[in-house]
Structure 1
Amino acid sequence: MSEHEQQANTPPAKPKSARRRAREFAVQGLYQWNLTGDTVNNIEKFLRESSPQFAKADEALFRAVMYGAIKESADLIRLITPHVDRPLEEVSPVEAAVLLAGAFEIVHMPETPYPVIINEAIELAKTFGGSDGHRFVNGVLDKLAAAVRADEVEAIRAKRRG
C-alpha cells in the first residue's frame, strides 16, 4: 500500500474539545509562569494573542485551572511532593506544569471524575513532554487522587474488580 493510500485509510483525527484546548493552554501558561515568573495576566494575554486556537478553548476551565493552580501552587506542591520519586527541582518544567494543572483539578474540581483528569494529564504529557513523562504524571496523579479522593477512587476500583 502506498503512503497516500495509508493516509487515505487513516481515520481523520478527532477534533480537540474546548475542554482539551483549555487544559493545553493552562499547561502552557503554567509552564511559562514556572520558567519566567511572569504575572498571570501577562501570560493569559500572551496566550490569547499568540494562538488563534485560544478562541476555541473553554475559557472558564482555562482560567479556573491556570489562575487557580498558580494561586494554590504552594498547597498543590505540598500535596504532590510525597508522591514524587525525586526532588521537585528535578522534575521537567513540562511535567511540573501538567502535575500542577492535574492536581488543581483533582483537588478543586470534584465534579470531574478523577480518571478523566488523569487521562487528560497523560495526553498533555504525551503532547508536550518527554518520552516517558506521561507514565510519571500518571503515577503521581493516581497516588494523589487516592489520597485526596479516597472514596471515589475506591468506588471506581471496586467497580472495575467486578
Structure 2
Amino acid sequence: NWARRFAMQALYQWQLTKQDIGLINAQFLTEEDIGKADLAYFQELLQQTPLRLDVINKALDPYLDRPIVQIDPVERAILWLAGYELLFRIDVPYRVVINEAVELAKTFGAEQGHRFINGVLDKAAHTIRQDEVPPQQR
C-alpha cells in the first residue's frame, strides 16, 4: 500500500529531522510518485499518528523487548503506523495491518526486522482487537 509506504517514510524523516509534520506533508505532496497513493489515507496516517503516539506507545510497550526509543527509526515508524491502524482504524482487518507492516519491514527494515514487527503486532492485536482475533489464536 503506497499510502502506508509514504507515511512510513515521512514519519522516518520526522524522527530524524524534527521538522513540522505539515512541512513534511507538503514535501511528500510534491513527489511525483505520490499519485500512486491514496492521498487521504496518507495524510490521515501522517497527521494522526504523531498526535496519538502516547496511546500507541502505551498499547505497544508490553510487547516490546526494549524501550520504543531504542528501536530502529524505520521499525519504530512501522510500529507506530500499524499501532495507529490497530487502535483507530478498526475497519482495517488486523491481519491486513500486520501483513502490510511486515512487508514494509522486509523492504525497509533491518535483516530480521520483519520478524520483530510481526511478533510485536501479533501479540498487540490479540489485546487491541480481542473481538476480531479468533479464540484459538489467542
TM-score (norm 2): 0.94
Residue number in structure 2 paired with 1:55: 35
SS in 2 for 1:152: coil
User: 1:22 and 2:9 equivalent?
Assistant: no
Deviation of 1:154 (Å): 2.1
Match of 1:105 in 2: 85
Is 1:120 matched up with 2:100? yes
**Cα distance, 1:34 vs structure 2:** 1.4
1:31 corresponding residue in structure 2: 12
CA distance in 1, matches of 2:135, 2:110: 32
Name the CA distance, whole Å, in 2 between partners of 1:148 and 1:125: 21
Shift of 1:157: 3.6
Alignment partner for residue 88 of structure 1, among 64, 68, 84? 68
Alpha-carbon displacement from aligned partner over 1:75-123 (angstroms, at most 9, x marks no partner): 1111111110112222000000000000000111111110001000000
Out of 105, 128, 134, the position equivalent to 1:148 is 128
Select 1:137's aligned residue among 109, 112, 117: 117
Higher mean Cα deviation, 145-154 or 114-123?
145-154
Gapped regions of structure 2 (runs ≥ 5): none
Code of the aligned partner of 1:23: R
Deviation at 1:45, TM superposition (A): 1.2
Identity among equivalent pairs (%)? 41
Most deviating of 82-91 and 99-108:
82-91
**Displacement of 1:155:** 5.5
> Aligned partners of 1:155, 1:57: CA distance in 2, in Å?
35
Return the offset for 1:156.
8.0
Any idea what SS the aligned residue of 1:38 has? coil
| Deviant stretches of 4+, over 3 Å | 155-158
Q: Deviations over 1:15-44 (max 9, x none)?
A: xxxxx0100001011111112221111011
CA distance in structure 2 between the aligned counterparts of 1:96 and 1:120, rounded to whole angstroms: 14
Deviations 1:40-73 (CA, angstroms, capped at 9, x unpaired): 1101111122x31101200111111111111101
Q: TM-score, normalised by structure 1?
A: 0.81
RMSD of aligned Cα (Å): 1.5
- Cα deviations across residues 123-160 of structure 1 (Å, max 9, x unaligned)? 001111111001111111111111111110126849xx
Flag the structure with more relative contact order, 1 or 2, with Cα contacts below 8 A and sequence separation at least 6. 2
Structure 1, gaps ≥5 residues long = 1-19
